Amino acid sequence: MRVWVSGGSGFVGSNVVKVFSEQHGAEMVAPAHGDVDLTESEAVRASVAEHRPDAIVHTAILNDLPTMLADRRAAWVAYVGATRHLVDAANDVGAKLVLVSTDWVFDGSQGGADETAPPNPINLYGVLKLASELVVTERARQRGERPGRAHRSPHGQVRVTGRPSRTDCHAARPMASGARPSAPVIGDGPPART
């Protein structure tokens, strides 16, 4: 199996690369930001087409809260636009896509929210992650299927639970696929609360 990982040099992505390669024997492709700008559709599609992965794991984030707040358009492009480009590239090559999201799509008042709880983000990070989840749900498709059939899609989102430290590993909740991951997904360490 070949897996293409966005954000492969970050905390979450580097752990995904390590687990998939060392524990599951997957061939990993983790291009650096300088090699593939996720905000550029053609660059993403070209890299994915070149490597023809079986799966794409989208872990990349804009980990710069001041920039996110100062330039919300850039933040939208970095999260939602990048997700759109990766979903489209996955569709092009028939790869499955997993978006690593966050429990920050909830406001904390639901306590133990599950996949059926309505999201209610209270900060920009949560809004951007929720919008990215919607992109996956609406655009992901199997060959020959129309978008918007998330329950039948090979794509899914993973919401990371808890606030992990560098030594914590939290099990994640898959969203659209209905299947539990065979390996834990490492928490995404969101930016500071605003």
Clarify whether 79 is annotated catalytic.
no
**Rounded to 10 degrees, what is the CA torsion of 70, 74, 80, 85?**
-170
User: Which secondary-structure segment (H or E) carries 130?
Assistant: helix 124-139
Sign of CA dihedral 77, 131, 95, 6: positive
The answer to whether the CB of 121 falls within 8 A of the CB of 131 is: no
How many Å apart are CA 90 and CA 5, to the nearest integer? 12
Catalytic residue among 29, 47, 125, 132: 125
The answer to whether the CB of 141 falls within 8 A of the CB of 152 is: no
Active site amino acids: 125
